[in-house]
Amino acid sequence: MLYGIVVFPEKHVQDYANSLRRRHDPHYSAIPAHLTVREAEEWTIEQLQMAVAHLEQITSMLPSFSIHLNRVSTFYPVNHVLYLALQDTVSMQQLHEQLCSGPLAVEAPTYVFTPHLTIGQELSADELHDLYGNLRMQEIDLSTTIDRVHLLYQTDNGSWTAYQSFLLRG
């Protein structure tokens, strides 16, 4: 089964992101607005059990933190993805490094970890540039507290559901 690890921002951030995702993200109905901490991967039951134990251990030592989303950016030309970017990525980088260690270490990551909240993907180049041109002029000032991580799995219909949530208790 396919599993991934994410954090969900508070409702006001999700509402803002979803107002854009609804039209520009084909995965809008499959998963709520989120920041991916570890990309999805096929796991066996044994790998899942090791992952849960690892997440329990790591999250017991990590404190909650706040992030600030302050602009729209894009991964163009690598990907036609539009996203809300963080003002300071240090806390999310540290969360990623801690969680993606031990049994959750990623051997050969496809991309460098860049914490972000996707608001548009699978866009044509013209659509991406037009949307980016409009959105980068908007003032964005969204803060949210990250106090838990979620281990998700993909269902048969392609949507994502929480397998287990882990409070940051450090």
Active site residues: 34, 116
What gap in Å lies between CA 34 and CA 131, rounded to an integer?
Answer: 20
Q: How far apart are CA 98 and CA 91, in angstroms?
A: 11
- The span from the CA of 92 to the CA of 136, in Å, is 22
Is the dihedral angle over the CA atoms 76, 82, 88, 91 positive or is it negative?
A: negative
Cross-strand partners of 86: 69
Task: Find all residues with CB under 8 Å of 26, minimum gap 6, and list them.
Answer: 121, 122
d(CA 119, CA 98): 26
The whole-angstrom separation of Cα 124 and Cα 26 is: 13
**For residue 145, how many other CB atoms are within 10 A of its CB?**
12
